[in-house]
Chain A
Amino acid sequence: EPEVTQTPSHQVTQMGQEVILRCVPISNHLYFYWYRQILGQKVEFLVSFYNNEISEKSEIFDDQFSVERPDGSNFTLKIRSTKLEDSAMYFCASSEETKGHNQPQHFGDGTRLSIL
């Protein structure tokens, strides 16, 4: 069964450094998402991406965050200057094109980001 793949599985970074989290969405999906989950807390929406542009973003997704689809398969999340509070599990998700109802989003295994 097709799946969303994320790399790396664990990233340890010094505060203030830049990190790039990578995702390969399911191949026929057109909508891409990033979510995060701080340990013990809810899964929170960060950003959605469609047709090579951001379609929606949350208040969490401030100027330190950016997303990119650099080629036909990868979808990346960049955090420019990491803070301690960015430590979380980051999930990439993808879905098929919406046809009336919002299509289910399928999640990757996540990247655990630890900021020291």
Chain B
Amino acid sequence: QKEVEQNSGPLSVPEGAIASLNCTYSDRGSQSFFWYRQYSGKSPELIMSIYSNGDKEDGRFTAQLNKASQYVSLLIRDSQPSDSATYLCAVQVAYNTDKLIFGTGTRLQVFP
């Protein structure tokens, strides 16, 4: 059973701080990794994709991937109250499969 694990939270951070969201996955052959943001009652919105070990930065967001540790993280710098949402980690486990396996998500609360 291929699993993606996340701490459900809530993770509470003050406005302006760095929020660090973590995800582990069970299938060592996993190839592609995605972070989605989901506001309550809304659909998943793609934030970042990462495919290689290391860091990938896009604005205030940085995704980090460590395939040896089967670990992917998302850092949000200068957190804003509008960042308050559930962040979903999603994994595609091989080139020959299309499906995304989602974690339960981490709820982030940014307080003023």
Contacts and interface: CB of A to CB of B under 8 A. Distances in A.
Interface of A: 31, 33, 35, 41-45, 48, 50, 55-56, 58, 89, 91, 95, 98, 100-102, 104-110
Contact of B103 (A42, A45, A106): A42
B100 A56 contact: no
Interface stretch (B18-26, B45-53, B59-67): B45-53
B46 A106 contact: yes
21 contacts: A31-B98, A33-B98, A33-B100, A42-B105, A43-B88, A43-B102, A48-B98, A48-B99, A55-B98, A58-B99, A100-B95, A101-B32, A102-B32, A102-B95, A102-B98, A104-B34, A105-B100, A106-B46, A107-B45, A109-B43, A110-B43
A98 B94 CA distance: 12
A91 B43 contact: yes
Given A48-B98, A102-B92, A104-B49, 14 more contacts: A33-B99, A41-B104, A43-B88, A55-B98, A58-B99, A89-B43, A98-B98, A101-B31, A102-B31, A102-B32, A107-B43, A107-B46, A109-B42, A110-B42
Q: What class of interface size applies to chain B in its complex with A?
A: 20 to 34
B82 interface: no
A40 B90 CA distance: 17
Highest count of chain A CB atoms <10 Å: which of B32, B100, B105: B100
Interface of B: 31-32, 34, 36, 42-46, 49, 51, 88, 90, 92, 95, 97-105
Contacts of B92: 102
Contact of B102 (A42, A55, A106, A108): A42
Contacts of B34: 104-105
A27 B83 CA distance: 29
B42 A56 contact: no
A22 to B, nearest CB: 15
Contacts of B102: 42-44
